[in-house]
């Protein structure tokens, strides 16, 4: 599955938003250094895709999200620690692997 990935700096503290558009569905995940985040239950394909690439563990968490969500993995920490270059590396990696 080819994922069109968009990574945006949501907060200068290091929050990211990953959006994947596949046919009519949109999958997303939020991550920040201050909080653990997650994505909604119907986006398991994206979770599996990211996990299959050996990525960082995130857990479902609060903020009104459904507790049925499974933890997911995203390789963000090492990349975001590198600032804007890290975001570009992440985008390139996901596009290449897609």
CA distance 56 to 48: 12
Percent of the chain with pLDDT over 90: 0
Residues 19-49 pLDDT 10s: 433 332 333 444 433 333 344 333 444 445 5
Whole-angstrom distance between the N-terminal and C-terminal Cα of the chain? 6
Residue located via tokens 């990349």: 79
The pLDDT value given to residue 58: 39
- Mean pLDDT value across the chain: 41
The pLDDT value given to residue 21: 36
pTM: 0.23
Mean pLDDT in residue range 66-92: 44
Show the tokens assigned to 40. 């909604």
């Amino acid at each position: 599955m080819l994922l069109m990935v968009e990574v945006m700096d949501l907060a200068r503290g290091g929050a990211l938003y990953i959006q994947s558009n596949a046919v009519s569905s949109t999958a997303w995940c939020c991550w920040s250094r201050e909080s653990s985040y997650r994505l909604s239950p119907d986006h398991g394909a994206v979770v599996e895709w990211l996990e299959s690439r050996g990525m960082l563990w995130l857990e479902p968490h609060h903020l009104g999200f459904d507790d049925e969500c499974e933890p997911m993995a995203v390789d963000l920490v090492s990349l975001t620690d590198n600032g804007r270059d890290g975001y570009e590396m992440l985008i390139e990696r996901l596009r290449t692997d897609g």
